[in-house]
Amino acid sequence: MQGLAWSEICYLFCCPPFPSRIAAKLAFLPPSPTYSFQPSPDATSHSLHLTERSEWQYTQRELEGIEVFTTRSRRNNTIACMYVRCSDDPHYTILFSHGNAVDIGQMSSFYVGLGSRINCNIMSYDYSGYGASSGAPNEKNMYADIEAAWNALRKRYGISPESVIFYGQSIGTVPTVDLASRFEVAAVILHSPLMSGMRVAFPSTKRTWCWDPFPSIDKISKVQSPVLVIHGTEDDVIDLSHGMAMYERAPNTVDPLWVEGAGHNDVELYGQYLDRLRKFIQEIKHLGQERSSRQSANGQAPSEGVTSNS
Are 170 and 142 in contact by the 8 Å Cβ rule? The answer is no
Report d(CA 1, CA 277) in Å as an integer. Answer: 40
170 is catalytic: yes
Distances (CA, A) of 142 to 179, 276, 287: 11, 28, 30
Catalytic residue among 170, 181, 196, 216: 170
Catalytic residue among 264, 266, 292, 303: 264
264 is catalytic: yes
Catalytic residue among 126, 212, 235, 239: 235
Are 223 and 251 in contact by the 8 Å Cβ rule? The answer is yes
Answer positive or negative: Cα dihedral of 142, 166, 181, 247.
Answer: negative
Which of 182, 184, 180 is closest to 309 using CA atoms? Answer: 182
235 is catalytic: yes
Report d(CA 275, CA 268) in Å as an integer. Answer: 11
Which residues carry out catalysis?
170, 235, 264
